[in-house]
Amino acid sequence: MRIDIITAVPDLLDSLLGHSIVKRAVEKKLFELQIHSLRDEGLGKYRQIDDYPYGGAAGMVLMAEPLDRMLTKLSERRTYDAIVYLTPDGELWTQNAANQFSLKGNIIMICGHYKGIDQRIRDLWVTHEISIGDFVLSGGEIAAAVLTDSIVRLLPGVLGDMESALSDSFQDSLLAPPVYTRPSEFKGLRVPEVLMSGNFKAIETWNEEEAIKRTKERRPDLLK
Q: At what angle do helices 141-152 and 10-17 cross, to 10 degrees?
A: 30
Residue 133 DSSP code: S
Cβ pair 80, 107 in contact under 8 A: yes
Instruction: Give dist(CA 190, CA 184) in Å, integer.
Output: 6
Please list the ranges in the chain whose pLDDT falls under 70: 161-167, 169
Distance CA 213, CA 208 (A): 9
Q: From CA 84, how far away is CA 146, in angstroms rounded? A: 13
CA distance 172 to 169: 8
Domains and CATH numbers, the chain: 2-152 (3.40.1280.10), 167-223 (1.10.1270.20)
Q: Report pLDDT for 77.
A: 97
Would you state the pLDDT for residue 15? 81
pLDDT tens track for 82-112: 999 999 999 999 999 999 999 999 999 999 9
Q: What is the pLDDT of residue 44?
A: 97
pLDDT tens by residue, 132-163: 999 999 999 999 999 999 999 999 999 876 55
